[in-house]
Structure 1
Amino acid sequence: MNKVIVIVIDSFAVGAMDDVARVRPEDLGANTCGHILRRCPQLRLPVLEQLGLINALGEVVNIMRPAPRANTGCALLRHEGADSFMGHQEIMGTAPARPLCEPFSQILQPLAQALVARGHRVERLLPEGPGVLWVDGAVAVGDNLETDSGLVYNVTADLTRITFREVQAIGAVVRAVARVGRVIIFGGDGTSAAQIQAAAVQREGKYAGIDTPRSGVYRQGFQVVHAGYGVDPSCQVPACLARRQIPVSLVGKVADIVVNPGGENLGGIVDTGHIMDLTAGEIRRPGPRFICTNIQETDLAGHAQDVDWYADRLQVVDRHLGLLLGLLGRDDLLVVMADHGNDPTIGHARHTRERVPLLVWREGCHGVNLGTRQTLADVGATVCDAWQAPPPQSGTSFLPLLTIK
């Protein structure tokens, strides 16, 4: 295999999973793709149509039609909820562990003891009720207040007082103690310790953390890493391919949330056109290469509950996909998919738990039904299989189905 490209159109999913009535009832009836097409009856995405988007959707809802020669299927989310970070870990071959959902207050005391045991200075902000830890005069640790409560903790730092490497060391202690799905470790040098402390707030009587927009950390010099529960990068696609000396390029948000030591990491970019141009540049590089790209603006449009913005970004993606297909040859493989849903019509601004489309292009391979895959990790397993690399932790390759006729 020469190039394998995975394009993740963030949140562009095709219908609620069967378990939402039990685990996420607010997502009943969600269908990000279907509802956007219904709201935009004249929207045509010719390249995605050719790749089999309507096949994966399973119904005709506007002017777009199924593509009989397309290779298509769907994949279910194995991770809890509907999360970009865990979705991408799953795509990279992780078998998601089952995290706990608990307020930061549940681990505040044991975490403080663990930090003190490692020589850190620890104080408490918000002395009454749920609290926030203040570490080494520069770092706040508490609940993430911008996502579903009890699922994520934040480590928020003033990088004028402490290096990011030192913040990561504090974050590693938090990750070792915490059992929630994710710990986000970040900071900036355009804020101050006083401003971060002033942004400490309590919610619902049991959660406490830093109001991130108020903290000022985004203003300048922002750095971030994510630490997932039960995520072992040594068992993911980049590490598996490194053992076969296959280069890996991550473009867009995926570069910020997936570990890729020694590879090309083109992160910190949001503009869809720029991201797709960078992807084209990686495809043009000589020799074998795995390229994974995340299109984040679609997810931002979902959070904004803005159907028109979402449709506009899809049109940009579609135009660039046409250009990318023109760069591919007989030894290349393209997968277009999503990581979860974010239905802008559902009535809330959070992700939606939906199955995702699998649209696969391989020259000379037509009309393959990939079925319903039980995990996003099947994509990662397929990528490794393309170069006979060691398989990732989870997933079943569908490469044997993609025979050239």
Structure 2
Amino acid sequence: MTPHRMSRRAVILVLDGVGAGEAHDAATYGDAGSDTLGHVAEAVGGLQLPNLERLGLGHVRPLRGMAAVAHPGGAWGRLQPASAGKDSTTGHWELAGIRLARPFPTYPDGFPPDVIDEFAARTGRGVLGNVAASGTAIIDDFGAEHQATGKWIVYTSADSVFQVASHEGVIPLAELYAACETAREMLVAPHDVSRVIARPFVGEPGRYQRTKNRRDLSIEPPETTLLDALAAAGVSRAGVGKVDDLFAGRNLRARHTGSNAEGIEAIATWLREESDGLLFANLVDFDTLFGHRNDVAGFYGALREVDAALPTFEALLREDDLLFITADHGNDPTTASTDHARERAPLLVVGPQVRPTDVGERDTFADVGATVAEWLGSDFRGSGRSFLRELVTR
């Protein structure tokens, strides 16, 4: 039997790192008091985001400069994280229905010698670094030695990542990618990091620059996701940004983008051209360029960029469309930390059939996936509960 296809569409738009206040268990993660949106609002003297305000962001939580408008253009709420962890993979998986019982392993003191020795032996090159470090600082520290020796630069961060940097003029990209595939294959429990990341760079000492040839290799989701369920039902799926990498490419292919601006254009293109299905999009600049670098002005600028794009998105929404705007974790650029923060995610839902209502504080990000599944005609609910009946007028 040919699976039934619906003409409905849904967009899950993840503003990477744009948290909306500490989660109920933030103190357990060392994140008590983290409040990405709230602290940015205070730091810039009040948010001027007229479209997000009009859609109901001021109802999500009190924010300096944002009014709780009388007649919002969408529905609103907040999502509590239920999975263990505060990284992008965990957040996106939970949005797609998976609740993780344990966090991915992290390595603040570097990887154990047996892991590094095996990686060196299997790839035929030595290793430099093996520390938790900034990606730009590590190539400044070890770039010259790498160029002289041909050894890999291996490093990690506060996230569960095994990152491999190499100069494109020293090691061909194909060899770097193959080495990362080797690392992904060997990093199994208890060292099952969420992502292996290829980090190529160019330039000379003092003038190194990372290139856009990054590649992420994620661990496979351990359970059925929203994407798997929609694929089985014959519902089309597309991605923007790094989303397919986070799901190990399983039942999703994404248009990779080099900036939020490119991502915004890709989302608009999908809304113009596609007739049905799901778009799962990630705008990563909040996290990568601004949160991790404590750049408050840049973070606010990225919020204004998204705000300015919203009227275009709204104009392209059809009668049977739902747009979910949310996040995967926090990354408060006003704190001393440059790490992710354990925060609630904001939630705004927009579409011609959406009633202006408070869908409440949800117990898990997975309620988004459950709601999208119901809207697109799937019985999948994962670890979430659908709030579709509260959301739409009919």
**TM-superposed deviation, 1:64:** 2.7
Q: 1:162 to 1:361 in 2, by over 3 A?
A: closer
Q: 1:302 to 1:156 in 2, by over 3 A?
A: closer
TM score, norm. by length of structure 2: 0.79
Query: For this pair of structures, how many residues does the alignment match?
Result: 367
**What are the superposed Cα offsets for residues 56-85 of structure 1, whole Å, 9 maximum, x if unpaired?**
11x252253345544111111233342223
Give 1:65's aligned residue: 68
Q: 1:282 to 1:173 in 2, by over 3 A?
A: same
Instruction: Determine if contact 2:244/2:252 at 8 Å carries over to the other structure.
Output: no
SS in 1 for 2:216: strand
**TM-superposed deviation, 1:266:** 0.8
Instruction: Determine if contact 1:251/1:293 at 8 Å carries over to the other structure.
Output: yes
Give 2:90's aligned residue: 86
Distance across 1 between alignment mates of 2:299 and 2:165: 31
Instruction: Determine if contact 1:303/1:342 at 8 Å carries over to the other structure.
Output: yes
Letter in 2 for 1:218: R
Give 2:269's aligned residue: 281
**TM-superposed deviation, 1:175:** 2.3
Distance across 1 between alignment mates of 2:63 and 2:358: 18
**Alignment partner of 1:381 is 2:386:** no
**Alignment partner of 1:231 is 2:237:** no
**TM-superposed deviation, 1:109:** 2.7
Distance across 2 between alignment mates of 1:171 and 1:51: 44
Letter in 1 for 2:255: L
**TM-superposed deviation, 1:214:** 9.3
Instruction: Determine if contact 1:89/1:231 at 8 Å carries over to the other structure.
Output: yes
Give 1:355's aligned residue: 344
Distance across 2 between alignment mates of 1:318 and 1:128: 40
Distance across 2 between alignment mates of 1:3 and 1:214: 48
**TM-superposed deviation, 1:261:** 5.1
SS in 1 for 2:195: strand
**Alignment partner of 1:290 is 2:278:** yes
Distance across 1 between alignment mates of 2:363 and 2:346: 12
Give 2:234's aligned residue: 245
**TM-superposed deviation, 1:101:** 4.2
**TM-superposed deviation, 1:326:** 0.9
| Aligned-CA RMSD value | 3.6
Give 2:137's aligned residue: none
Distance across 2 between alignment mates of 1:384 and 1:331: 14
Q: Which runs of 5+ in 1 are unaligned?
A: 196-212
**TM-superposed deviation, 1:274:** 2.4
**Alignment partner of 1:152 is 2:161:** yes
Instruction: Determine if contact 1:111/1:174 at 8 Å carries over to the other structure.
Output: no
Distance across 1 between alignment mates of 2:360 and 2:46: 29
**TM-superposed deviation, 1:243:** 1.4
Letter in 2 for 1:109: D
SS in 2 for 1:311: helix
Distance across 1 between alignment mates of 2:131 and 2:226: 43
Letter in 2 for 1:8: V
Q: Which runs of 5+ in 2 are unaligned?
A: 1-6, 133-145
Give 2:184's aligned residue: 172
Identity over the aligned pairs, expressed in percent?
25
**TM-superposed deviation, 1:295:** 1.7
TM score, norm. by length of structure 1: 0.77
Q: 1:97 to 1:122 in 2, by over 3 A?
A: farther
Letter in 2 for 1:75: L
Distance across 2 between alignment mates of 1:121 and 1:22: 38
SS in 2 for 1:290: strand
**Alignment partner of 1:4 is 2:10:** yes
The partner residue of 1:74 within 78, 89, 97 is 78
Q: 1:364 to 1:140 in 2, by over 3 A?
A: same
Give 1:397's aligned residue: 386
**What are the superposed Cα offsets for residues 74-112 of structure 1, whole Å, 9 maximum, x if unpaired?**
111233342223222222222224134456877543785
SS in 2 for 1:326: helix
Give 1:22's aligned residue: 28
Distance across 1 between alignment mates of 2:255 and 2:9: 17
Q: 1:352 to 1:261 in 2, by over 3 A?
A: closer
Letter in 2 for 1:231: P
Q: 1:113 to 1:388 in 2, by over 3 A?
A: same
Give 2:138's aligned residue: none
**What are the superposed Cα offsets for residues 8-60 of structure 1, whole Å, 9 maximum, x if unpaired?**
11222211112122331xx3222111222223345321221122111111x25
**TM-superposed deviation, 1:217:** 8.8
**TM-superposed deviation, 1:290:** 0.8
Distance across 2 between alignment mates of 1:190 and 1:65: 48
SS in 2 for 1:235: coil
